[in-house]
Amino acid sequence: MRLIAGTHLFALISLTAALDNGLLRTPPMGWMAWERFRCDIDCHDDPQNCISEDLFRDMADRLVEDGWKELGYEYVMIDDCWMSKLRDEQGRLQPEPSRFPGGIAKLARYIHDRGLKLGIYADMGTHTCMGLPGTTLDKIEIDAQTFASWGVDYLKFDGCYSNPLEQMLGYPLMSLALNATGRPIAYSCSWPVYVGGLPPVVNYTLMGNICNLWRNYFDIQDSWDSLQGIVDWFFNNQDDLQPAAGPGQWNDPDMLIIGNFGLSLEQSRSQMALWAIMASPLIMSNDLRNLDNGARAILQNKVAIAINQDPLGIQGRRLLQEKSRIEVYWRPLANSASALVFLSRRSDMPYLYHTSLAKLNYNPGNYGVYDVFTGSTVTGLNTTTLFTISINPSGVVMWYILPEHSKKTHTHHHLHKTASHFTFL
Ligand code: GLA
């Protein structure tokens, strides 16, 4: 045991550089089984929805045929409950044969043949959260090698059934083991969740050095309450969390639940908008075979996606929480652009919110505004101009904003003719 600990310490000390796999320069996009399909292993009574190779092939087909892939949704991710209860004779994890008769390598080929990538799930500990074989410290290397040999492109490494010391050793060791395979494998760490998600217990500099993304907080459930709890926690702790994010290293507030049962259309827009502001992974967990057009349009909104995928990779912040229960969120983007989200926490009626870009810390000047969900535009919006927007209960107004350069004389002229207050409804 002393010897093993010594080896691990050496590994930790040699971990000085950032996780240098070049992956996820923008947040990952794709689909993951867990929130929608959980640990449904009942292929007898529920063949369409059980965790099996058919489910992942179906989702891969949908991603390719329904326009998702070309928008950037490229990962198909297996979560818990893919494994057999026993490792094979060589000590390797193996898929449950009745549900994955072709094996993971074959599924990876199917997914790669369609220009997509495959994600898989393992757990740092004795068991996965659902009780299947875990990856104890002595199994890290063989599991990394097994995933690489199958052609896996992404690993979600959960942390049930381990203690903080094992986590402190295991998460960096898996990072090294994945790098050592020579296959680029994006690495998602659940470590922060298991130790409270915040400094000083969580070292976000280390996290950025060893993981491409990490789960900070509890699992999302299919409800607006769950979503609001996550949003509150992330933005209440933005001073700790926001600086941790950047190209190749992302906070993960968990899956998109748009298209399921718990969110209204307004609330679905709110999730998309806030996940774009947070530079969060856009990992849907829904049934792509049965998606209504409202949910589809929100998830496929090109401007919301472009804001999420902005190349600067700066996570946004909450600017204001008004007594009126309107909140304002902001994210700086490449080319001096920015995004604003006005969120209503009200439950009465559309609220008329009065503000100006100056009140939201914008530099003096004129701006062009594109409303992300309605498609309407305004040009020549001066920072001093008071405007009014209408925000639906539990909904958002989301703006993409660009400064208007080199049009000074024109805009001055325009402004003289414009009332100093306009309503943007
Ligand atoms: C944990 C994770 C979830 C999911 C389940 C699977 O709760 O946080 O995202 O992976 O385990 O059992």
Query: Model confidence over 109-137: pLDDT tens digits?
Result: 999 999 999 999 999 999 999 999 999 99
Distance 39 CA to ligand 1 centre (A): 10
Is the pLDDT score of 410 beyond 90?
no
Of the listed ranges 60-74, 101-115, 251-265, 408-422, the one predicted with least confidence = 408-422
DSSP 8-state assignment for residue 220: P
Q: Could you report the per-residue pLDDT of 216-248, keeping only the tens digit for each?
A: 999 999 999 999 999 999 999 999 999 999 999
For residue 280, give Cα distances in angstroms to 26, 105, 141, 271, 304: 9, 29, 29, 11, 12
Q: Which residues contact 7 (CB under 8 A, 6 or more apart)?
A: none
Amino acid at 330: W
Q: Ligand 1: which of 32, 40, 129, 154 to mutate, judged by most atoms within 8 Å of the beta carbon?
A: 129
Distance 133 CA to ligand 1 centre (A): 14
CATH number at residue 190: 3.20.20.70
Rounded percentage of the chain residues whose pLDDT exceeds 70: 91
Closest ligand 1 atom to the C-alpha of 193?
Answer: 8
Is the pLDDT score of 363 beyond 90?
yes
Q: Could you report the per-residue pLDDT of 56-96, keeping only the tens digit for each?
A: 999 999 999 999 999 999 999 999 999 999 999 999 999 99
Q: For residues 320-335, b (16+ Cβ closer than 10 Å) or e, as one string?
A: eeeeeebbbbbbebee
d(CA 215, CA 255): 10
| Shared domain check, 367 and 289 | no
Q: Domain of residue 193: give its range.
A: 2-308
| Shared domain check, 196 and 159 | yes
Q: Choose among 9, 69, 21: nearest CA to 213.
A: 21
The reply to whether ligand 1 has any atom less than 6 angstroms from the CB of 158 is: yes
Residues that are catalytic = 158, 219
Distance 125 CA to ligand 1 centre (A): 13
Task: State pTM to two decimals.
Answer: 0.93
Residue where one domain finishes, among candidates 308, 326, 349: 308
Grade residue 406 by pLDDT with cuts at 50, 70 and 90.
Answer: low
Is the pLDDT score of 416 beyond 60?
no
The reply to whether ligand 1 has any atom less than 6 angstroms from the CB of 31 is: no
Residue with tokens 């928008």: 71
| Shared domain check, 229 and 178 | yes
Number of structural domains in the chain: 2
Of the listed ranges 19-23, 39-43, 213-217, 329-333, the one predicted with least confidence = 19-23
| Shared domain check, 293 and 237 | yes
